[in-house]
Amino acid sequence: MSLEAIQKVTEAEQAARERRAEAAEEAKRIVADAERAGRQLVQDQRAKAEQEARSMLADAEAQAEKKAEQTLADHAARCEALKQDARKRLDKAAALIVGRVGNS
């Protein structure tokens, strides 16, 4: 083999080694970029999920508060009705008590 042919083979091998090294570096860069993008996506989705959870919790609390207020209002109305009914019978109860005490 001539010296020129050996030199061409050596240059070709060197070029191939350089291309492999460049390809390996490019692959590492692509993997690093993908990992970075993946971590960012996970972080973004986690933040979005936390925001949605806070919103859902706030909605549930508002509904619970509204239901509690309605329940309190219903019970207050029932209590008032019972008081009104009791007041109507107060005179009759007092007369019954006075009658029993007077008969003893």
Reading the block at residue 3, the tokens are 């010296």
pLDDT tens-digit map of 53-72: 999 999 999 999 999 999 99
- The residue among 54 and 99 whose pLDDT is bigger is 54
The whole-angstrom separation of Cα 67 and Cα 29 is 57
Task: Return the pLDDT at 88.
Answer: 87
HSE value, Cβ hemisphere, 13 Å, CA-based, for 36: 6
The whole-angstrom separation of Cα 102 and Cα 25 is 110
Task: Return the pLDDT at 4.
Answer: 86
pLDDT tens-digit map of 38-54: 999 999 999 999 999 99
The whole-angstrom separation of Cα 43 and Cα 64 is 31
When mean pLDDT is compared across 49-53, 66-70, 77-81, 87-91, the lowest value belongs to 87-91
